[in-house]
């Protein structure tokens, strides 16, 4: 088990689509990402030189006709409450529809969807000293009203024209088919710890963060996985310091994985969701 320190993060989310240019334009204009690379079939977006999102055009792509496992939302973490307030100004000016908002005590967040229907969260964390933990160090589930006026006031001095360079994917939230199998995989095999648990959802973290991966069965149990030609999540990446221990553990437990060079392994979770684990210091 490896993901037990604060040096593990979600790296990049890869989406399948039938209209790459439309989706790339959305993430540039609404989320404020920069286009880092673009060709006939793929667009890569991020901040500075950091890749956060890859959009892949799938020939003859189709929209799933029922709920399937995959992405619930990609959560873009902004560096400050002021930047979140500035983003809210931007959203109001753009008149792009929001699905909701939530004050989760440890963070404040806004929720909406991209043109393909993929869920998005844009949020800012509160100082960790303000997070409310129980005796075991776990975080309670809370969704309170957001102080929109306070956010707008705090962000009034910032001129939103693109996402700040410190922006990253703070977490990814997945739609899964089996919570117990998901628990066994992310906690028992990968070594994440559970920070919040309710009957229909589990939240996993490395180190002391509130969560790097959220999972839920709100769309139902035993969902099928996406077909290769269906739009939605293709895979996501986890960046960590080393993958050597993970490879040993997976081999001992007879869990299939592929190696892509010296620093990347590819595996599938019990819900049929593909993950690439990338060693940022692969020599360790």
Over range 206-217, report the average pLDDT: 95
CATH class of the domain defined by 9-279: alpha beta
The rounded mean pLDDT for the chain is 94
* pLDDT value at residue 283: 42
Question: What pLDDT digit, counting tens, does each position of 229-249 carry?
Answer: 999 999 999 999 889 889 999
Mean pLDDT of 40-60: 97
What gap in Å lies between CA 176 and CA 219, rounded to an integer?
8
The mean pLDDT value for 4-11 works out to 76
Cβ–Cβ under 8 Å, residues 1 and 190: yes
User: What is the tens place of the pLDDT at every residue in 11-49?
Assistant: 999 999 999 999 999 999 999 999 999 999 999 999 999
Residue 223, helix vs strand vs coil: coil
How much is the pLDDT for 2?
Answer: 54
Note the pLDDT tens digit of each residue in 65-97: 999 999 999 999 999 999 999 999 999 999 999
Residue 263, pLDDT above cutoff 90 = yes
């Amino acid at each position: 088990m490896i993901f037990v320190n604060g040096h593990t993060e979600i790296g990049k989310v890869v989406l399948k689509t039938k209209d790459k240019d439309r989706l790339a334009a959305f993430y540039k204009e609404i989320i404020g990402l920069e286009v880092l690379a673009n060709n006939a079939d793929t667009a890569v977006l991020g901040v500075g030189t950091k890749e956060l999102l890859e959009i892949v055009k799938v020939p003859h792509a189709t929209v799933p006709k029922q709920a399937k496992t995959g992405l619930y939302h990609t959560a873009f973490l902004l560096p400050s409450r002021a930047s979140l307030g500035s983003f809210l100004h931007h959203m109001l000016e753009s008149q792009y529809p929001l699905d909701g908002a939530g004050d989760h005590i440890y963070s404040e967040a806004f929720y909406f969807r991209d043109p393909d229907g993929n869920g998005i969260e844009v949020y800012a964390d509160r100082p960790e000293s303000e997070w409310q933990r129980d005796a075991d160090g776990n975080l309670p589930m809370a969704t309170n009203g957001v102080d929109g006026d306070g956010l707008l006031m705090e962000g009034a001095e910032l001129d939103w024209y693109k996402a700040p360079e410190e922006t990253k994917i703070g977490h990814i939230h997945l739609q899964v088919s089996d919570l117990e199998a998901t628990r066994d995989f992310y906690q028992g095999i990968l070594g994440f710890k559970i920070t919040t648990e309710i009957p229909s959802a589990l939240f996993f973290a490395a180190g002391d963060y509130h969560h790097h991966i959220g999972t839920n069965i709100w769309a139902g149990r035993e969902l099928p996985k996406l077909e290769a030609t269906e739009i939605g999540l293709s895979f996501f990446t986890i960046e960590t310091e080393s993958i050597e221990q993970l490879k040993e553990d997976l081999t001992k437990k007879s869990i299939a994985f592929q190696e892509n060079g010296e620093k990347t392994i590819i595996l599938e979770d019990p819900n049929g969701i593909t993950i690439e684990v990338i060693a940022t210091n692969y020599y360790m």
